[in-house]
């Protein structure tokens, strides 16, 4: 089997990231149309911080909101997809380092992925 080089891995991953960003921008765009069509004439005020309702704070609730046709739920889903793109990149790097049989860097990359997943999934209960 041909040895995979860092550059080849990077090219695949770079293109995947671009596709990920395009998909998330499209989902945000769809959400934007629904949101603006329904709420365009309401006053916009972000002076006072209230924090988002729980519909927009975690992945299951965001999915529910999006699939019941809420514009803001759709936007939030697009944003979650966007946050997931660098996470996917790190996951692909694990595969790449493992294919190169580089144990040290496979381990380093696993550590980074664990930190990212902790932030995305694990920290919710702390607040």
Partner 1 sequence: MNVLEFTTLVAAGSFIAGLLGSLTGLGGGVVLVPLLTIFFKVDIRYAIGASLVSVIATSSGAAAAYVKEGFSNIRIGMFLEIATTLGALSGAFLAAFVSTKFLAIIFGAVLLYSAFISRRPRTAEERNSPPDPLATKLKMNGSFPSEEGIRYYNVQRVPAGFSLMFGAGALSGLLGIGSGAVKVLAMDQAMRIPFKVSTTTSNFMIGVTAAASAGIYLNRGYIDPGLSMPVMLGVLGGSMLGVRILRKAETKVLRLVFSGVIVVLGAQMIFKGILGTI
CB of 2 to partner 1, least distance (A): 19
Q: Which has the closest alpha carbon to 97: 6, 7, 1?
A: 6
CB count, 10 Å around CB of 125? 7
67 binds partner 1 (CB under 8 A): no
User: Cα separation of 118 and 102, whole Å?
Assistant: 24
Q: Which of 1, 3, 41, 68 is in the footprint of partner 1 by CB under 8 A?
A: 41
2 vs 47, beta carbon nearer partner 1: 47
CB 87 within 8 A of CB 98: no
Q: Which residues bind partner 1 (CB under 8 A)?
A: 6-7, 9-11, 13-15, 17-18, 20-21, 24-25, 28-29, 31-32, 35-36, 39-44, 46-49, 51-54, 56-58, 71-73, 75-76, 79-80, 82-87, 89-90, 93, 96, 102, 104-105, 108-109, 111-112, 115-116, 118-121, 123-124, 127
């Amino acid at each position: 089997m041909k040895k995979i080089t860092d550059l080849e891995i990077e090219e695949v991953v770079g293109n995947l990231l671009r596709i990920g960003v395009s998909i998330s921008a499209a989902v945000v765009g769809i959400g934007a149309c629904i949101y603006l069509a329904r709420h365009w004439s309401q006053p916009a005020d972000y002076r006072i911080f209230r924090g988002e309702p729980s519909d927009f704070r975690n992945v299951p609730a965001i999915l529910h909101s999006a699939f019941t046709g809420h514009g803001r739920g759709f936007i939030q889903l697009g944003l979650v997809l966007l946050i997931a793109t660098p996470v996917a990149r790190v996951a692909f790097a694990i595969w790449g380092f493992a294919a190169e049989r580089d144990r040290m860097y496979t381990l380093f990359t696993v550590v980074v992925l664990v930190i990212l997943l902790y932030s995305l999934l694990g920290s919710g209960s702390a607040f």
